[in-house]
């Protein structure tokens, strides 16, 4: 099985029913495949599959999106089942009561955990945001990173005879557009498969040697307080199509191992020192 997001095989996968990770009377969470748009958009008029409409039709009721995942990103995507619940959850999100964890495959050896505090200028779309203020100040952006695994591939890239990569756990503490991708690019560890902030040579290596045509960024876990019970709620999205790639790279594919890594990093967050400009 490959990890493609731009070919015919992925189109077939997207047309399959969405995998529901959690559902009760207030909330429903899906495992969004890479390549699936959140909702209809004039930016891509040729698409016929959208997460919001697809989930609505699948469960037979209206759903209210509570956050978003970029089209190429896979993983946990949460919806409310009523407008009142959506309002309560939006208040939680605004107050930063949610915790999100992502897995990212990036170029180079990411040496040590750290907290990057690096403001980002708002990314505006040339069409959708053409009337927006083009000169806004940079916004606060913080992401914590933990290296999980490393691999060196005997494949020449540019002037190097081998290619090095790291699997990183990322926890965004703010919610800026493309924050994880932009922060890792700033640290000179661009995410594999990223078109706008990645490196073409490494993206091409994974297409040619691993048949991987997708962004290797996965929303692995979402933690929040349930809007009705007030109890903690944890929703995980296992590796799905990334398991094959991770296995070939020699990375863990047992989801319980990743659950333990996320558990281990939680008490360490407050102790992380800020990463320097060179990472």
Annotated catalytic residue: which of 31, 70, 236, 241?
70
**Is the pLDDT score of 15 beyond 80?**
no
Enter the tokens of residue 95.
């107050």
Query: What is the average pLDDT value for the chain, to the nearest integer?
Result: 87
Q: What is the mean pLDDT of residues 1-16?
A: 54
Rounded-to-integer distance, Cα 149 and Cα 119, Å: 27
Give the per-residue pLDDT at 128.
45
Q: Evaluate if residue 127 carries a pLDDT over 80.
A: no
- Quote the pLDDT of residue 41: 60
List helix spans (H) across 15-120: 51-59, 83-94
C-alpha span between 50 and 33 (Å, rounded)? 11
Task: Report which of 177, 186, 61 is spatially closest to residue 114, judged by C-alpha positions.
Answer: 186
pTM over 0.85: yes
The token pair at 169 is 């756990």
User: Mean pLDDT over residues 152-180, rounded?
Assistant: 95
236 catalytic? Reply is no
Reported confidence tier of residue 222, pLDDT bands at 50, 70, 90:
very high
* Count of CB atoms situated within 10 Å of the CB of 112: 11
Q: Classify residue 242 by burial, with Cβ atoms within 10 Å: 0-12, 13-18, 19+.
A: buried
Assign 93 a pLDDT band (cuts: 50, 70, 90).
Answer: confident
| Cβ 94 vs Cβ 224: under 8 Å | no
């Amino acid at each position: 099985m490959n990890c493609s997001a731009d070919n015919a095989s992925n189109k077939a996968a997207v047309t399959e029913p969405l995998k529901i990770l959690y559902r009760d009377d207030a909330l429903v969470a899906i495992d969004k495949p890479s390549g699936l748009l959140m909702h209809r958009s004039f930016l891509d008029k040729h698409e016929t599959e959208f997460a919001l409409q697809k989930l609505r039709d699948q469960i037979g009721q209206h759903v209210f999106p509570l956050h978003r995942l970029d089209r190429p990103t896979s993983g946990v995507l949460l919806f409310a089942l009523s407008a009142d619940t959506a309002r309560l959850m939006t208040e939680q999100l605004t107050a930063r009561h949610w915790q999100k964890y992502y897995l990212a495959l990036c170029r180079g050896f990411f040496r040590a955990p750290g907290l990057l505090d690096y403001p980002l200028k708002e990314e505006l779309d040339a069409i959708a945001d053409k009337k927006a203020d083009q000169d806004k100040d940079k916004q606060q952006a913080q992401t914590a990173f933990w290296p999980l695994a490393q691999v060196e591939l005997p494949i020449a890239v540019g002037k190097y005879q081998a290619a090095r990569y790291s699997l990183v756990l990322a926890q965004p503490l703010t919610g800026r557009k493309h924050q994880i991708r932009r922060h890792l690019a700033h640290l000179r560890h661009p995410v594999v498969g990223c078109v706008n902030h990645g490196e073409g040579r490494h993206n091409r290596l994974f297409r040619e040697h691993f048949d991987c045509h997708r962004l290797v960024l996965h929303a692995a876990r979402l933690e929040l307080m349930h809007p009705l019970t007030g109890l903690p709620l944890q929703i995980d999205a296992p590796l799905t199509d990334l398991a094959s790639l991770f296995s070939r790279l020699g990375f863990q594919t047992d989801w319980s191992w990743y659950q333990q890594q996320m558990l281990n990093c939680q008490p360490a967050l407050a102790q992380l020192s800020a990463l320097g400009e060179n990472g």
